[in-house]
Chains A and B, each alone.
With several copies, the nearest count.
Chain A
């Protein structure tokens, strides 16, 4: 079966997902700062205001508690809000609305309220945005039950996961990486292209070690794998794509084969998603492991504002390479 694709950027893939879902279902609408006439600070929503008008593409003022809390209220009353925070960090400005209202209100009300909302969260470093605009906070979403968490690493996944998120009856935190917005890739053109939640993608096959990487780090892991292949170290690179639900089966099956695992993410290493993944790998595959599960993540510091310095805080392809080389030698 051949799938028709087009080569577009990650931001544009998100834009297509939004447009297609808004065309499909009149209950889908959007709000956020500058998403209307401007098309968003990162240009992701360009054209949507013109196509869908001001009732369904709403510019808000600077009110993150309303953007998210309003999404919760709207979701429980028959519409499907897809809201944008300009930076994922601002999720903490609306912490109560994300972690209490969206995450818990279905449960608290005995399943009688539905909360089909998507919160789009531009995540990660982008070149000088600073400590309060560059974080990777997906682990917080993982720790609070009731939220699904997606982290697309490719344009195709950006489209397919967002469409799945919008059709999901549960609240979804959608972490789009700001540093990937302009990265291009083949994206299926179909209106019904969905990437299911909870299915990891094996980005590369190998047997020397399993690297589990998310978001921006998927590309860096593949770069490292490329370099190591020259030394006959063949990495298996797995991108979980969603952290909730998390496809541990694929990861464990791989680790059982390779005997070694490295988890890499851009988020702070301490208490990041990698801690959970590492803990689960050794729980499930302890006797198959030839070495401890290792993790790479950001240093235990805020992100410096300077665009060059910020790269020193998060893992590089070279660091992944060095770590793997050491790990396979254990």
Chain B
């Protein structure tokens, strides 16, 4: 692993750290509760479409998104719904999208892996074609620069998506224009069935940042505090007009590529729900047990309630099919 690490300086002062850890714990356990609930739901009821579980990657999503402000833009990746949840979208809306309900954010067009959206919260989408996030994000950052806004764009991507040429095209231009972007790589070690280690000539994707003359740091993706600190440093740099940075969070893909993937190509992990180096456990060491327990309970309730609400929403019918093509 690279010797670069996130600047400690970017972390919070000790006094704040407790509440920060609690905030992160709240988000991680909220994502976890939804992930487990979805896992159970899919097992019991099946699922129309594809669902790419994010179990085990909650610390990256929570930590990085919590380094953003409400007005900052977010292009998320396909793995899970933690990104959008932490950015502020209601869990029933996200589930509504997953189940193709009209109460979902895309109004019933969703189903399976979807495209959550909330422009008010800066949640802008994900490329169904991997890697389009890079160029979209650079474009959004150009808008920010032209309008003189105080926003930052966070672009999430996997270790696989990092191979797309759009990364190179966007990164070069973003570096030259000093665009306010933070690239957050969730390196979970897999491009679907291909191990990252078989498909990357270098150990760290963060090393590729040097080609663009921008900072690249590697951070423990199971440690939400570390992810947040590294991302915050990058966000502040971007907001200060100093240009883009890359944060690579090393994490783990616990489940299949999609829920139901038999994963015959893999033997590094048992097909279960256990998370090695569990981000919840790591955070728990920083927060009072009672508070953690309480947050777990709230998260579980929130998830159950969201499921109930989502399932109560009507499905989209023929009328939604032709809506929204044109302004």
Contact = CB atoms under 8 A, between A and B. Distances in A.
Interface of A: 27, 29, 31, 33-34, 36-38, 41, 55-56, 58-66, 68-79, 81, 89-90, 93, 96-97, 100-101, 105-114, 116, 127-133, 145-146, 168-170, 299-302, 304-309, 312-313
B132 A308 contact: no
Interface stretch (B33-41, B164-172, B273-281, B293-301): B164-172
Leading 4 A-B pairs by shortest Cβ distance: A128-B49, A73-B139, A69-B135, A132-B128
B192 interface: yes
A129 B49 CA distance: 6
A128 B111 contact: yes
Given A29-B146, A77-B124, A304-B111, A62 B324 contact: no
B135 A73 contact: yes
Contact of A305 (B112, B144, B194): B112
B117 A130 contact: no
A259 B108 CA distance: 43
Interface in B120-148: 124-125, 127-132, 134-147
Contact of A108 (B48, B115, B176): B115
Contacts of B191: 33, 61-62
A69 B136 contact: yes
Contacts of B111: 128, 304-309
27 contacts: A31-B142, A34-B194, A36-B193, A55-B145, A59-B199, A60-B199, A61-B160, A62-B160, A65-B165, A68-B135, A71-B139, A73-B141, A77-B124, A77-B139, A77-B144, A79-B142, A96-B132, A101-B136, A107-B109, A108-B115, A109-B125, A129-B112, A301-B321, A304-B320, A305-B110, A306-B49, A307-B112
Given A61-B199, A299-B322, A76 B192 contact: no
Nearest to B138: A70
Contacts of B145: 55
A79 B321 contact: no
A69 B132 CA distance: 7
A307 B49 contact: yes
